[in-house]
Amino acid sequence: MSAPVKVGAVVITMGNRPEELRALLDSVAKQDGDPVQVVVVGNGSPVPEVPEGVRTVELPENLGIPGGRNVGIEAFGPGGSDVDILLFLDDDGLLARTDTAELCREAFAADDELGIISFRIADPDTGETQRRHVPRLRASDPMRSSRVTTFLGGANAVRTRVLTQVGGLPDAFFYAHEETDLAWRALDAGWMIDYRSDMVLNHPRTAPSRHAVYHRMVARNRVWLARRNLPALLVPVYLGVWMALTLLRRPSRPALKAWFGGFREGWATPCGPRRPMRWRTVWRLTRLGRPPVI
């Protein structure tokens, strides 16, 4: 008999949404099959009251989204190795169905190349999935599952063998593009990523620009992402395309000033170790519909 597949969940919180956090944890507890082990990380804040059996880690300072999630990963052993699958869930989300953990077990068991699953995010009131929450260029039909080249940070499942092989999220990014950095490293190591419309996290509709640091960090981390992961030939192409797209979107003057400040910062500051992907990975990304120039 094969050993049962162990599933864990990492949730980071700023401690300011106790009711939403409790609802999320209740939805995790209701998952079919063996219980999902849960770690809640207080990212520079105390953790609100949680149900019995949920482990907590309270950090003295806010390490950002990737830093907080990495602490949660290590709470399950080096690289999360005490479990087989880790769910990463936003603290104001809610698993819409009770079979999500079982669907993850089945998906990973059926496909040895599958390393990461990106869930569909839906507004709890309207059921709508925002276009930006479909991690592919052809995003008009959120109900279509497919292979993709990145994933959604607060609604996903990762095979922990991926983390032990390629490492966790880039701590220094703090916020924005950390998922794509991990996705590109996983794809370069031979893993695949699926977007699954039947695995749903209910989450209130939001705009990413609600964060005060959004424009600066999006630009800075975009540069870091390219410098860390792309072949040298593609770095200026990728960043040039994104600069053009940013200008076409006609952001406000303060937003554009913050963006260009972040862009300069991305070039002027260390980006971490550079491990450019192989050209066959570039071709794989292209065949999957998103060449790494956009």
Torsion angle, alpha carbons of 268, 269, 273, 277, to 10: -50
Strands in 187-289 per DSSP E: 192-202
Q: Whole-number mean pLDDT of the chain?
A: 96
Entry pTM? 0.96
94-152, pLDDT tens digit by residue? 999 999 999 999 999 999 999 999 999 999 999 999 999 999 999 999 999 999 999 99
Polymer length of the chain: 294
173-202, pLDDT tens digit by residue? 999 999 999 999 999 999 999 999 999 999
Tell me the sheet residues that pair with 114.
192
Question: What is the SS3 assignment for 209?
Answer: helix
pLDDT of 210 > 80? The answer is no
Residue 210 in tokens: 């609600």
152-164, pLDDT tens digit by residue? 999 999 999 999 9
